[in-house]
Amino acid sequence: MHVPDGFIDAPVSVAAGAVAVVGVAVSLRGARRELDDRTAPLAGLTAAFVFAAQMLNFPVAAGTSGHLLGGALAAILAGPYTAVLCMAVVLGLQALLFADGGLSALGVNITIMGLVTVAVGYGVFRLLLRVLPAARPAVTGAAFAAALASVPASAAAFTLIYALGGTTEVPLGSVAAAMIGVHVLIGVGEALITSLTVSSVLAVRPDLVYGARGLIKRPELRTRTVSGSGGAAGEPSGAGA
């Protein structure tokens, strides 16, 4: 969904740029609480994985393709503030190195593919975990729904920005319907890739999934069962092995 130069007029591009700058600045502060010596390199890897996955366009409908956006995935794996920074780095390097996404549209792209996907994706994820049982399948399912919702939300955000600053006069209702329609289909691909990735990491290192912290017990917490009598019954078997 990388917006090229010329779709959005200068004033709205500048305004979106200001929104992106504020979002990144807030995230730089917030990410401090998500990153430590161990998680910082892994968060960098999350950004690299999002970049790689974004290269893999999959067909969705007649003559149309889509690719992972990755905001929901990055938020679940690394935390929402870190995810915004991941997306900003990916989108910035794509525009600067690979001529993908207009330079004047970088603010628009960070807003719709960074801020919106992370906010909607992580919001849906946390909301679902509040009502679902604290177990691994729930985390995977919540990741699926979060990713699915994040893509049409991003398309809706683009349409809103186009309504404010689009350079060509077009019927907005039909643009909104077409944008959201095709991005629901792309969202299914996003949901499959996101839930597969999250469940893969959960299978080998559940402690590295930021969004599952506190839900899935870590091995360190097991020491108590050794000293207690008959503690084996309370053993959270297999979790975090």
Partner 1 sequence: MSTKRFFIVALLVSLVLAGGVSYYASSMPDGLEKVAADKGFDAGEKEHALADSPLGDYGVKGVENDRLSGGLAGVIGVGAVLLVSGGLFWAVRRRGVRMDLRTDPDA
# chain residues binding partner 1, by CB under 8 A: 81
The minimum distance between CB 234 and partner 1, in angstroms, equals 17
The minimum distance between CB 180 and partner 1, in angstroms, equals 10
Residues in 138-197 at the binding interface with partner 1, rule: CB under 8 A: 155, 158, 162, 166-168, 170-171, 174-175, 178-179, 182-183, 185-186
d(CA 98, CA 13): 20
Nearer to partner 1, 18 or 65 (CB): 65
Inter-residue contact 240 to 203 (CB < 8 Å): no
Q: Where are the alpha helices (DSSP H) in the chain?
A: 10-31, 39-54, 71-78, 80-97, 106-110, 117-131, 136-165, 172-204, 223-227
The answer to whether residue 210 forms part of the interface with partner 1 (CB under 8 A) is yes
Residues in 26-85 at the binding interface with partner 1, rule: CB under 8 A: 28, 31-45, 47-53, 55-60, 63-67, 82, 85
Residues in 109-148 at the binding interface with partner 1, rule: CB under 8 A: none
State the pairing for strand pair 64-66/58-61.
Answer: antiparallel
Nearer to partner 1, 68 or 145 (CB): 68
d(CA 60, CA 185): 6
Inter-residue contact 78 to 43 (CB < 8 Å): yes
CB atoms under 10 Å from CB of 35, counted, come to 19
The answer to whether residue 17 forms part of the interface with partner 1 (CB under 8 A) is no
Among 10, 93, 134, 164, binds partner 1 (CB under 8 A): 93
